[in-house]
Amino acid sequence: MDIFIQVVYFVAAVLFIMGLKKMSSPVTATGGIVWAGIGMIAASLVAFFEPGVFTHTSNVVLIIIAIGIGSAIAYITAKRVQMTDMPQMIAIYNGMGGGAAAAIAAVELVKMAGGHGGGSAHELSSTAQVLAVLGALIGAVSFSGSAIAFAKLQGLMKKTIRLPMHMVINSGLFVLTVIAGAIIGFSGDVSIQLVLLFFILALVFGVLFTIPIGGADMPVVISLFNALTGLAVAFEGYVLENAAMIIAGTVVGSAGTLLTQLMAKAMNRPISNILFASFGSDGGAAAEEDIEGSMKEIQGTDAAIMMAYAEKVIIVPGYGMAVAQAQHKVSELTKILEARGVKVMFAIHPVAGRMPGHMNVLLAEAGIDYDKILDLDEVNPEFPTADVALVIGANDVVNPVARTNPDSPIYGMPILDADMAKNCIVIKRGKGSGFSGIENHLFYADNTRMLYGDGQKAVGELISGIKEM
């Protein structure tokens, strides 16, 4: 039976890896999710055949009930969630993964501590004991930190909070947590009270670590917590001697780490700056001082004429398009323009929206061909020859101040060169700054016109205007 269990775990691990690989492309992503799901089902079912599981029937019943409740909640929320709310759903689910890893560690550590209080001893190898503590620390921080990230993205926490001497407090709290963890990890005599204190310290540190980080950086933080959750799961897999958990956790941790690095690179900022500089909380006063000119409004009919007689149009989608659920209208606009012989392409920035791939998924959902969706390096050379760049709800990723003002918090960040198009039309609901709080100099450029209004309604005006020609 043991060989059968290990073979199933190995197959499940292979399915996890292949599924993740297929998720790297929109074309194969659906299949990747299915493969990974099959692997998860297989690993969950074979776990019931582990030695000792059926020793306590009540535990099996509780496991089945928990799986049923969790699956029902996941199914309902996944069916109802809007694409604009996907990042916070990922945050809270990722936090649950970290919390589960921490809970596994808690059970093992409490058993170990209980063995010295008169109960039966629960022995862990020295390595497993240390890894259990590391997994507990990382999982608990990921759990509480992800909860704060969810609250920020959901709008439940609308302000960043920076305590006096915040870095000193965080550093001191982290040192205390590590000391408590070291005592637990290397001591042969551990009290339940110390284990409880350790978890409280770790959870509080996760909260204090996350609350000063601005909302604009939350996607990067979520990605980092995803990597930490994977690492915690891998550690606890070693503690439980579960190969599937080790491999799955390692894969998730590696993917989360690479994604975090990719997003930080796309913002041209070191990860340390994102985590400790509170960017996005009060941003951009230095970038606003030298703004020249004014925003120039354009009506939908005039913008429609400009686009109808263009040879090349580049559409730059952003979070505003997602909020307005305008992707289907954008798809209709694309078809109308192409019917008139206009070449249409889409420019996607790695951090457009609230997570990597956010815009790609929205456009794919609306039926936009994948070959029309270009990333930053592919599309930037196209802007100087574009007659119109249509920006829908994007802000910081098209802000030219990133190239021109060393005092700007986003200076050096690679951006989409929408300002280099012959004409730029920006669809925007109002005159406010972007998610990071930085004023966008593109809106004041001589070749830019502002089309104010809800994204879906504004694109509908463009469609109506073109159809009337």
Structure tokens at 421: 């198009």
Residue 332's identity, in one-letter code, is E
Active-site residue, 396 included: yes
Residue 252's identity, in one-letter code, is V
Closest CA relative to residue 256, chosen from 217, 230, 218: 230
Instruction: Catalytic residue, from 217, 396, 417, 419: name it.
Output: 396
Closest CA relative to residue 50, chosen from 239, 233, 242, 236: 242
Q: What does DSSP say about strands 448-452 and 388-392: parallel, antiparallel, or unpaired?
A: unpaired
The CA-atom distances, in angstroms, between 205 and each of 148, 166, 243 are 12, 11, 30
Q: Which residues contact residue 298 at a Cβ distance below 8 angstroms, ignoring those fewer than 6 apart? A: 425, 449, 450, 451
Strand partners, 388: 313, 423
Q: Sheet containing 373-375: give its strands across.
A: 373-375, 343-348, 312-317, 388-392, 423-428, 448-452
CA-based end-to-end distance of the chain: 73
DSSP 91-128: HHHHHHHHHHHHHHHHHHHHHHHHTTTTS------HHH
* Residues forming the active site: 396
